[in-house]
Amino acid sequence: MKSQGLKGKVALVAGATRGAGRGIAVQLGAAGATVYVTGRTTRSQRSEMNRPETIEETAGLVDEAGGRGIAVRVDHLVPAEVRALVARIEAEQGRLHVLVNDIFGATRIEWGKSVWDSDLDYGLRSLRLAVDTHAITSHFAIPLLIKTPGGLVVEVNDGTAEYNGSNYRNSFFYDLAKAAVLRMGFSLGHELKPHGATAVSLTPGWLRSEAMLEAFGVTESNWRDATKRVPGFAISESPAFVGRAVAALAQDPDVSRWNGQSLSSGQLAKIYGFTDLDGSRPDAWRYMTEVQDAGKPADVTGYR
């Protein structure tokens, strides 16, 4: 029987249409939570991502997992829409225990582009999608969250503070966006501590999102076939893995020990004992440092 340690708890996963956000919402549901799932793609309308996944699908998966999923279309760049979302949560639930900021929605990454080579309009748009959305959502949602002691805010990112602090992340604008989200976890930790709440930044490893699986021509059931072409893909993880990390944090009575810190799914799996869907514990960021970036042959032995 699944643990229902979050039964009676209310969560908002902002940016839950697909990928890590969907995985987090479903695992919070599996722990019994009521989860508001937001995004811009619904059954009747797609975002600029132009992908088929919808927030209604995510809400349905939350229900199937054992929680209650509530889909709300929200553009997190529009303050009025976020304000209305939080007002609805307060009216319907009266409280908010977990806020997950997983919003991004950029349509591409300009790999290796300097600031002067980048498409400026797109670069600035990607910063708004990655940074402004998180700030706007926190502005409106945290006042409700801190009404109940013990609240948790999770800033979902790509990369740990240690890794990003010494590695250039893909392009000027992407690097800048990820640095900002890391700092948000730290800053919010400082601001939430007096209110008995906790904030962290959390990164998955190489995520087998819907788009990633599609790009490699595989599904979650046969994803290992892709390692024949890209051996390093063996360290990848499902969205459920980072979802289980968030669910573990949300159920930890001592979660404040992590306040303001940068965490990874692989790191937390060792501490909380959860696994990925296949029973393994991929530690992607340690692997990237010790194997991939060190130029060693791809071998995940000891890393999952």
- Angle (CA) 30 214 275, round 5°: 35
Which residue, among 202, 229, 204, has the nearest Cα to 215 in the 3D structure?
Answer: 229
Catalytic residue flag (residue 174): yes
The secondary structure of the chain, three-state, reads: CCCCCCCCCEEEEECCCCHHHHHHHHHHHHCCCEEEEEECCCCCCCCCCCCCCCHHHHHHHHHHHCCEEEEEECCCCCHHHHHHHHHHHHHHHCCCCEEEECCCCCCCCCCCCCCCCCCHHHHHHHHHHHHHHHHHHHHHHHHHHCCCCCCEEEEECCCCHHHHHHCCCCCHHHHHHHHHHHHHHHHHHHHHHHHCCEEEEEECCCECCHHHHHHHCCCCCCHHHHHHCCHHHHHCECHHHHHHHHHHHHHCCCHHHHCCCEEEHHHHHHHHCCCCCCCCCCCHHHHHHHHHCCCCCCCCCCCC
The CA distances from residue 239 to 79, 149, 208, 227, in Å, are 28, 28, 7, 18
Find the catalytic residue in 36, 163, 174, 287.
Answer: 174
Crossing angle, helix 265-272 and helix 239-251, to 10 degrees? 50
* 217 neighbors 227 (Cβ within 8 angstroms): no
Active centre residues (catalytic) = 174
